[in-house]
Chain A
């Protein structure tokens, strides 16, 4: 069965901070931004073993700064946008998606139209990427 596994930083994410600052400058009210790399893999009947495999892959995970999480499904949650690069050949070492989670000043996921604005103005170059918005 195809599973989706998120690899996230446990240390401060400078790239997410940069995105938050640019979105604020653009007037998109994202106060906090989180980022994850989403890997799409076949679990060969054992999802926990899949997570273990990814967690042990030193090309993907550094246990000192990453955590690995099995996702419930293959779609973004509210406040999220998943960006997929369309222009390169598939590379098993690279994630299928980069997930961006956007939060407002009350810590709530950003409304869908605001996430769409963030996607259109910054997060996705439609010439080479496609976005799925939660």
Chain B
């Protein structure tokens, strides 16, 4: 039976449509689950928290959503080993909920994706990501082709990983750093980091490897229609580069690579 994926919609989420679409294109039964249906979340097999501005980023990005009733179910599911992916604002929510890096109790954040640096402005630019964990460390990235470079779009004002030095050491040492920003040829380069993120971090995973928080949007680079030069081709909805990220996620969900 095809696994069911809940794409959560908090007040202020704005990327649920394209997120559902790419998951369906990758062969999953995905649907948007509105916050008023929080009580149904337990019945899903996997969860994706899409981008947006949940609760208008009140207090801090992700802070209010981390205490929403929907997160009660998602935290429980994550601790039970179900796959959970957060993209952009979804990633910020996962950090505020303490699910990633997951080095302290839940809802005790030890890191944040916060205001970009050196200039604290919204950034919208194409970026490239590379997995820096072995396949066995993060189930959601295990099916990525070896040395894959994932194109995506950074579209955030608060995407810079910040944590205390000791916490950054733990993140690096214990394999929580899952994805980094690289050049399109896969080489590390400070200029490839759009936001001043520590460790060039684009994505973090938890200890069990079933929760992944990424700041950029691969779903905005997932079809030809996303590309000015290819949008008018005969197959605008044919998969493009970013779809490999969701294909890996779908493989992990289908094959039960968790728990």
Chain A contacts for B55, CB-based, 8 A: 18
Do A15 and B59 form a contact, CB below 8 Å, given A88-B117, A127-B163, A127-B167? Answer: yes
Identify which of residues 1-60 in chain A touch chain B, using a CB-to-CB cut-off of 8 Å. Answer: 14-15, 18-19, 22, 25-26
A19 and B114: CB pair below 8 A?
Answer: no
Residue B114 contacts which of A25, A91, A128 (CB distance < 8 angstroms)?
A128
B257 touches A (CB below 8 Å): no
Chain A 95-134 interface mask (CB, 8 Å, partner B; 1/0): 0000000000000000000000000011101111100000
Do A15 and B163 form a contact, CB below 8 Å, given A122-B63, A125-B63? Answer: no
Chain A contacts for B110, CB-based, 8 A: 127
B58 touches A (CB below 8 Å): yes
Chain A contacts for B112, CB-based, 8 A: 87, 125, 127-128
A22: shortest Cβ distance to chain B, in Å? 5
Chain B: interface residue total (CB-CB under 8 A) = 24
Complex formed: what's the CA distance from A85 to B120 in Å?
13
Chain B 109-126 interface mask (CB, 8 Å, partner A; 1/0): 111101101101000000
Identify which of residues 157-183 in chain B touch chain A, using a CB-to-CB cut-off of 8 Å. Answer: 160, 162-164, 167
Residue B58 contacts which of A19, A25, A89, A126 (CB distance < 8 angstroms)?
A19
Complex formed: what's the CA distance from A55 to B96 in Å?
34
Do A22 and B120 form a contact, CB below 8 Å, given A122-B59, A125-B60? Answer: no
B73: shortest Cβ distance to chain A, in Å? 15
Chain A contacts for B164, CB-based, 8 A: 127
B107 touches A (CB below 8 Å): yes
Q: Which residue of A lies closest to B115 (CB)?
A: A88
B224: shortest Cβ distance to chain A, in Å? 38
B227 touches A (CB below 8 Å): no
A127 and B162: CB pair below 8 A?
Answer: yes
Do A125 and B96 form a contact, CB below 8 Å, given A19-B58, A22-B64, A26-B67? Answer: yes
Chain B contacts for A128, CB-based, 8 A: 60, 112, 114, 162
Complex formed: what's the CA distance from A88 to B167 in Å?
18
Q: Which residue of A lies closest to B55 (CB)?
A: A18
Other 4 A-B pairs with CB < 8 A, given A14-B58, A22-B67, A127-B111: A15-B56, A19-B59, A87-B160, A123-B59
A to B CB contacts below 8 Å, 23 in the list: A15-B56, A15-B58, A15-B59, A19-B59, A22-B64, A22-B67, A25-B67, A85-B115, A87-B115, A87-B160, A88-B117, A89-B118, A89-B120, A122-B59, A123-B59, A125-B60, A125-B109, A127-B109, A127-B110, A127-B111, A127-B112, A127-B163, A127-B164
